[in-house]
Amino acid sequence: MSSSVLKAENLRKHYGQGAGLVKAVDDISLSVTSGDVILIMGPSGSGKTTLLTMLGGLLTPDDGRIYYGKHLISALPARKLAAERAEHLGFVFQSFNLVPSLNVWENVAVVLELTGRNRSNARAEAEKVLSKLGMKERLTYRIDQLSGGEKQRVAIARALAMEPSIILADEPTANLDSKNGHQVAELLCGIACRENRAVLIVSHDHRLKDVAKRIITIEDGKLIREEKGGHDANCPAEHHARPPV
């Protein structure tokens, strides 16, 4: 049985007061296991991004508990929380958040250097993870020389550089065309399968239902429904056998 890598209990986040009170997240609980691919959906303003931000330790809940593995992180001081994030989480954002003055491998290596790796080791590790994601021929390219899909692969490589157990992706296909969006979605699904990591995706893109194992729908801050996605929970053999597209 896969182990639980992330658990939230009775999370709440409210803004305003009185007649202006907004319950952005209202008593949401969920458990995430290794190999999960979870798609979090809901209309704009439903609270899904607020939930993801709290799960990522970037926003403090008003109430409730968050665990990374067995570690309670929701009440940690900032420095210890930052260390837990670095150990357990990788983030992928719709705007890529790459550094334009650095080339492809440098954008990934810089994360490793910040943790104390020397430049030579950081470069070797960066090139290794980029090659796994089909970017071997683009290692020295500038960011402005890449397509949108290639930029997102670099962003995913950066998220994987520290070998996190959990990948949090906020609208990862929003700035991509249909073809590249589908490839990135399959890539994230393949990572969960091959490397037994958990992947949580917030998105409006209904096409991602095909690659998710679990689909969670949020409305008005509440988790109103969970259903199975189109992805085989037993991890299709092709995700083990073929390299990322």
DSSP letter for 3, please: P
Domain-embedded: residue 45: yes
Range of the domain at 42: 4-102+166-241
Task: Provide the sign of the torsion angle of the four alpha carbons 199, 204, 210, 213, taken in this order.
Answer: positive
Domain-embedded: residue 23: yes
Give the pLDDT score at 182.
85
Question: Whose CA is closest to 42, among 220, 226, 218?
Answer: 218
Domain-embedded: residue 89: yes
Domain-embedded: residue 146: no
Separation of alpha carbons 127 and 191, rounded Å: 17
Domain-embedded: residue 133: no
pLDDT in tens, the chain (245 residues): 567 899 999 999 999 988 899 999 999 999 999 999 999 999 999 999 999 999 999 999 999 999 999 999 998 999 999 999 988 999 998 889 999 999 999 999 999 998 888 999 999 999 999 999 999 999 999 999 999 999 999 999 999 999 999 999 999 998 898 888 888 988 998 899 889 999 999 998 888 898 899 999 999 999 999 999 887 655 544 443 333 33
How far, rounded to the nearest angstrom, does the alpha carbon of residue 2 sit from its chain's CA centroid? 19
Number of domains in the chain: 1
Give the pLDDT score at 75.
87
Domain-embedded: residue 116: no
Nearest-5° Cα angle at 189, 40 to 191: 125
Domain-embedded: residue 151: no
Domain-embedded: residue 210: yes
Q: What CATH number corresponds to the domain at position 38?
A: 3.40.50.300
Separation of alpha carbons 125 and 112, rounded Å: 8
Compute CA distances 102 → 93, 106, 108, whole Å: 18, 6, 9
